[in-house]
Copies of this chain bind each other. A is one copy, B any other.
C-alpha cells in the first residue's frame, strides 16, 4: 500500500496492460462514467481494458456503453474507480480478482486495500481525476470518453450545484462538453422523471417529519410503497436530496427499505454538519455533505435510532 502521485498513476497506466476496471455496487454516474471513460482511453492507447459492473448497467446509463464491447483477455492489472471501501465491491466484480493494483478515488474516507492508492479528496468526482489522466496520457477526447467524464462530474455535483464543485470542475466541464451529448445526459439525469417517480416523490413528502427544532427532516420509502407505485430502482434515485431542500432543514435523512429487513440510509447536510461522521456511527461513510449507511430493523426502530442520533448530533 502506497499513496502515489497523479503522474505515477499515469505512468502505471502507461506501463501496464490487460486492465480490469472495478466499479462499486449500486453503480452511480461517477463510478460508471469514470471506469468506462478510462477503459475507452486505455483502448485508444492500444491496450485491452474491460469494466466490471455489479449487475447490469442501469438503464439510464446505457448511453455510456453504446460503443463498448467486452474484450476477451485474462486481466493482469486491476484498477478500482470511485470505490471507497472493499465492501462496496460486489462478488461478481471481484470474480477472479486476487488483489487490487491501483485505486483511483475521491472519497477522503477511502479504505480500499490496493498496492497503489490515489485519492484526491478535493475532486468533486473521481471523473475529475480520470479527465486529468486522459490529458496526461495524451489521449484525445471523443464522445465516449467525454460523455463518461461529464456524467461523473455532473451527477456527483448535482449538475454543478453541490458544495463539492470547484473551479476545476467547471474547467473540466468546459473542456468535455464540446465532445459529448451533454444536453441529453442532463436531460436523463436532471430533467426527466417518470410518472411513477413523480408519484414516489409526492408520497415521500407525506412521510416527512421534523426534529431538532426543524433542523432535521426525515423521510422514508418502504418496499410496499415502491410496489404500489410500480417504482423500480431508477425511480428511487435522487430522493435523498428531498428533505434537505425544506427551508430551515440542515440535515436531511432518507430511509429506503431494501429486501431483508434493512434500510439504506442517505444523509445530506448543510455546511457545518458532517454527514460522513454521522453515518460512521452506523458503520457507513461518505462525504461531509453527502453520506450513507445501512441500518437493520423495522421502520419505527430504525427511524427512532436515526432521529435520536440526529438530535444528539446537531
Contacts and interface: CB of A to CB of B under 8 A. Distances in A.
Interface of A: 158-163, 165-168, 170-171, 173-175, 177-178, 183, 186-187, 190-195, 198, 202, 205, 244-247, 270-271
Contact of A246 (B161, B198, B246, B270): B198
B163 A193 contact: no
Given A160-B160, A173-B160, A192-B247, A178 B167 contact: yes
A275 to B, nearest CB: 15
The SS class assigned to the A binding surface is helix
Contacts of A195: 246-247
A170 B190 CA distance: 17
Contacts of A247: 192-195
Contacts of A178: 167
A255 B247 CA distance: 25
A266 B245 CA distance: 24
Most chain B beta-carbon neighbours within 10 Å: one of A162, A167, A175, A193: A167
Contacts of A271: 183
B187 A270 contact: yes
A151 to B, nearest CB: 14
A247 B198 CA distance: 10
Given A161-B190, A246-B195, A177 B173 contact: no
A141 to B, nearest CB: 12
CB-CB nearest 5 A-B residue pairs: A170-B174, A167-B174, A170-B173, A170-B170, A160-B160
Contacts of A246: 192-193, 195, 198
Given A161-B191, A163-B186, A195-B246, 10 more contacts: A158-B159, A159-B159, A168-B174, A170-B170, A170-B171, A170-B177, A171-B174, A174-B174, A183-B271, A193-B246
